[in-house]
Amino acid sequence: MAPVATPFFFYLLSGIMLIGGILVITRKNPVHSALALIVTLLAQASIYLMLYAPFVAGVQIILYAGGIMVLFLFVIMLVNIDRSMQERQFNSQWVVGLVAATALGGLFIAVFTKGKDIFPEHALPIVESDNTQQIAMRLYGQYMFAFEIASLLLLVAIIGAVVMAKKRI
Amino acid sequence: MGQIIQYIESYLGSNQTPGAAGNMFWVLVYIMLVFAGLSVAVIAMNWLERKILAHMQVRLGPMRVGPHGLMQPIADAIKLLLKEDIMPAEADGLIFWVAPFVVVLAAFTTFVVVPFGPTHAITDMNIGILFMLGVSSLSVLGIVMAGWASNSHYPLIGALRSSAQMVSYEVAMGLAVVSAVLMTSLNAEGTGTLSMIGIVKAQFDQGEWFIFKFFPLGLVAFFIFAVAMVAETNRAPFDLAEAESELTAGFHTEYSGFRWSLFFLAEYSAMIAVSSIAVTLWLGGWLRPFPNLLSGSTWELIFSLFPGVTSLFFAAMCFFNVVRMPKHPLFKIQTMGLAGFGVVLGLIGLVLLVPGIRDRVGDIFWFSAKVAGFMYLYIWYRGTFPRYRFDQLMRMGWKVLLPMGLGVLILTAGIALLQEKIWHP
């Protein structure tokens, strides 16, 4: 099968992600910001798909675009948007922002120019046909302990949320 | 020119889906076929739902447009297209405009991986079932967008209810799906699969549909999915998002004309999509009844006659009703129309009996027949169950279905482990 991971798609998806990301922080209306974030997350899922990681892409769509963002929208819709749009936005930390952006941009430029020496040359073999099975083997074999710790952490978070939200259990 | 024909013909010999074979021409043909078939199915569902509901309530249902109201969906479609397209003055224009398309896109995109047969799918993905669940979960975004952008109270409440309901039932649904996916790993290699075609093949190899596997575990998982899928598609008795007695029409109250019909189209195609998931995971997908037990050329022949005979049966029903039509001169055109419909069905039935064709449509027929059973169930639920209250709905989702799903998952995993360790060491 001919590869679909052509530079054209990479630039297209990156462009969509960049535009979406910029819209998230510039829109005054929080619903518009959330929808732009969904577009960004979907483009990111497509990039995972382009990297022959379909499982990660599927989980990204289910969890972020289909689950978390719906809850975001759920909360935002209950807020009085007309009032919040007239309030001043708390984005006056431009000095910190400039420093962070310069540092990250400098890092990216450094990797882009000197990346050949830093990263190994050989490409990974494409395992698209059994990607899910490979992830399962790694997750439940080699990294079982880390996986269980993460699950426990999430369980504690869930129970904590329930305890804090409900007065009488 | 010769090259193009060669490219088109090169797929015909392969036994893969067109997506896996990488043949763009046949991918496009399959996409168009699935899209057309889906649209026809939605139109048929529109008529069937009104007719069946009417008969359940001892009414006649649509009778005026065409014989037995057969042309009613077309009349409805023309009415919807000619209606004025209204947008509320304070609505958020862009989101109001985009929302119906998001819902329709999410509903239609899922059909990329639906396996109508071992080779009759647009493509087969390594993450098939995950893809279907993920893309169909995007439709809730369209509903929320529609409800919020309408800038009106009822749509907003409808959208809130819908998003809360869909997010809650997705959890139980996911657990039921995982227990079925777990059953696919009970083979010699011990690796399961998420691919839709792989799941059906696993059921064929293990010699039973997953609904009967580890009885009653498969049945319970199927039951959880069957309840959750009704809630996921916002249908009665879980249609709180569009409860007409409380919220007029819920999230699509402010929509009219063509935009509203897009929501309608999306709702019915989403119903067909989740039914296809249920059929694929638990009811053996395209497999005919008893593919292992009743094998051999005689049984193959008998089962391959089913599609044609079914179509001929419907044709015979048409002719039976032609005889029963009132003999008044005003009914002349309707009688002729019904006879013509019967002739068309009969011709389709005869074509399906041709040896070359009947071997190839068998799997599509069995898949569609199983999905049609679910579609009938949807109408039946709507005709019989009263609507749940919202707190009852939430209690059902979180306190009944979710623990049941977890229990089934743990028990399935335990029995699978036992089977592997003790019975087949």
Per-residue pLDDT at B255: 83
Query: What does the pLDDT average to over B136-142?
Result: 86
What does the pLDDT read at residue B296? Answer: 78
Inter-chain residue contact B126 with A69, CB threshold 8 Å: no
Which of the given ranges, A72-76, A80-84, B108-112, B146-150, has the highest pLDDT on average? B108-112
Among residues of chain B, what percentage have pLDDT more than 70?
Answer: 98
CB contact (8 A) between residue A73 and residue B160: no
Q: Are residues B329 and B418 in the same domain?
A: no
The position carrying tokens 């009219």 is: B256
d(CA B374, CA B39): 17
For chain B, what is the radius of gyration of the CA atoms? 23
For residue B185, which phi and psi values (nearest 5 degrees)?
A: -85, 5
Cα–Cα distance list, B89 to A28, A40, B152, B267, B383 (Å): 20, 30, 11, 26, 37
Of A62, A77, A130, the CB nearest to B126: A130
Amino acid at A30: P
Dihedral pair phi/psi, residue B20, rounded to 5°: -70, -35
Judged against a pLDDT cut of 70, whether residue B258 lies above it is answered with yes
Residue with tokens 């049941």: B404
Residue A23's Cβ-side half-sphere holds a number of Cα atoms within 13 Å equal to 18
Residue A62's identity, in one-letter code, is I
Same domain, B326 and B206: no
Average pLDDT over all residues of chain B? 85
With a cut of 50, which residues of chain A have pLDDT below it? 1
Q: What is the pLDDT of residues B284-324, one digit of tens each?
A: 888 888 877 777 788 888 888 888 899 999 999 988 988 88
Every domain of chain A and the residues it spans: 1-85, 127-169
Tell me, what amino acid is at B272? I
| Structure-block tokens of residue B301 | 């022949």
Specify the range with the lowest mean pLDDT, choosing from B23-27, B51-55, B196-200.
Answer: B23-27
Q: Check whether residue B372 and residue B336 sit in a common domain.
A: no
Q: Do B22 and A73 touch (CB under 8 A)?
A: no
User: CA–CA separation, B133 vs A55, rounded Å?
Assistant: 13
Instruction: Give residue A1's pLDDT.
Output: 45
pLDDT above 90: residue B84:
no
Q: Please answer yes or no on whether B125 and A65 come within 8 Å at the CB atom.
A: no
Same domain, B207 and B218: yes
pLDDT of res. B303 = 83
Q: Which residue has the tokens 């797929």?
A: B11
Predicted-complex ipTM score? 0.81
Question: Residue B425 pLDDT > 70, yes or no?
Answer: no
Neighbours of B78 (CB within 10 A): 10
Position B31: which residue type?
I
In this structure, are B344 and B236 located in the same domain?
no
**pLDDT tens per residue across span A80-98:** 666 766 766 666 778 888 9
> Mean pLDDT across the stretch B62-79?
85
Greatest C-alpha distance within chain A:
60
- Establish if B194 touches chain A: CB-CB under 8 angstroms: yes
**pLDDT value at position B407?**
92
Contacts of B193 in chain A (CB under 8 A): 132-133
Taking CA B198 as the corner, what is the angle to CA B289 and CA B402, rounded to the nearest 5 degrees? 85
Contact call for A131 and B126, based on CB within 8 A: yes
Whole-angstrom Cα distance, residue B371 to residue B224? 17
Q: Do B137 and A132 touch (CB under 8 A)?
A: no
Which regions of B13-162 does DSSP assign to beta strands (E)?
none
Q: Determine the pLDDT at residue A9.
A: 85
Interface residues of chain A, partner chain B, Cβ below 8 Å: 1-2, 31-32, 35, 38, 54-55, 57-59, 61-62, 65-67, 69-71, 73-74, 77-78, 128-133, 136
Query: Do B170 and A67 lie within an 8 Å CB cutoff?
Result: yes
Question: What is the tens place of the pLDDT at every residue in B325-359?
Answer: 888 888 888 888 888 889 999 999 988 888 878 87
What pLDDT, on the 0 to 100 scale, is given for residue A102?
Answer: 94
Q: Is it the case that residue B136 has pLDDT exceeding 60?
A: yes
Q: Which domain holds residue B178?
A: 2-305+354-423
What letter would DSSP give residue B287? P
At residue B235, φ and ψ (nearest 5 deg) are -110, 160
Which residues make Cβ contacts (< 8 Å) with residue B51, sequence separation at least 6?
B61, B62, B68, B69
Residue-wise pLDDT for B219-252, tens only, equals: 999 999 999 999 888 887 888 777 667 777 777 8
How many Å apart are CA A30 and CA B178, to the nearest integer?
35
Joined together, the tokens standing for residue A143 give 């990294």
The total number of structural domains in chain B stands at: 2
How much is the pLDDT for B376? Answer: 92
Instruction: Indicate whether B50 and B166 sit together in one domain.
Output: yes
Fold classification of A1-85 is Four Helix Bundle (Hemerythrin (Met), subunit A) (1.20.120)
Q: How much is the pLDDT for A146? A: 92
For chain A, the three-class secondary structure string (H helix, E strand, C coil) is: CCCCCCHHHHHHHHHHHHHHHHHHHHCCCHHHHHHHHHHHHHHHHHHHHHCCCHHHHHHHHHHHHHHHHHHHHHHHHHCCHHHHHHCCCCCCCHHHHHHHHHHHHHHHHHHHHHHHHHCCCCCCCCCHHHHHHHHHHHHHHHCHHHHHHHHHHHHHHHHHHHHHHCCCC
The arithmetic mean of pLDDT across residues B96-116, rounded, is: 89
Please tell me whether residues B217 and B335 are part of one structural domain: no
- How would you class A63 by CB atoms within 10 Å of its CB: exposed for 0-12, middle for 13-18, buried for 19 or more? middle
| Closest among B276, B211, B230, B231 to B408, alpha carbons compared | B211
Asked if residue B146 lies in contact with residue B252, where contact means CB atoms within 8 angstroms, the answer is yes
Determine the Cα angle at A131 with ends A126 and A132, to 5°.
175
Return the residue of A nearest to B160 by Cα. Answer: A74
CB B192 within 8 A of CB B181: yes
Q: Burial-class residue B2 by CB neighbours within 10 Å (0-12, 13-18, 19+).
A: exposed
For residue B19, the distance in angstroms to the closest alpha carbon of chain A comes to 10
- Beta-carbon separation of B141 and A65 below 8 A: yes
Distance of alpha carbon B133 from alpha carbon B273, whole angstroms: 10
Residue B111 in this model has a pLDDT that exceeds 60? yes
Distance, in Å, from the CA atom of B167 to the CA atom of B173, rounded to the nearest integer, reads 10
Separation CA B363–CA B367 (nearest Å): 6
* Phi, psi for residue B89 in degrees, rounded to 5: -60, -40
Residues B63 and B188 in one domain: yes
Instruction: Give the CA angle between residues B149, B150, B152 to the nearest 5°.
Output: 125
Pairwise CA distance, residues B259 & B224, whole Å: 33
User: Which residues in chain A touch residue B20, judged by CB atoms under 8 angstroms apart?
Assistant: 1
**Cα separations in angstroms, B78 against B258, B295, B297:** 10, 48, 48
Residue B141 has pLDDT above 50, yes or no: yes
- Selecting from B22, B127, B156 the residue whose C-beta is nearest the C-beta of A55 gives B127
| CB-CB contact of B336 with B319 (8 Å) | no
Q: Which residues contact B341 (CB under 8 A, 6 or more apart)?
A: B67, B70, B318
The half-sphere exposure of B6 on its side-chain side, counting CA atoms within 13 A, is: 3
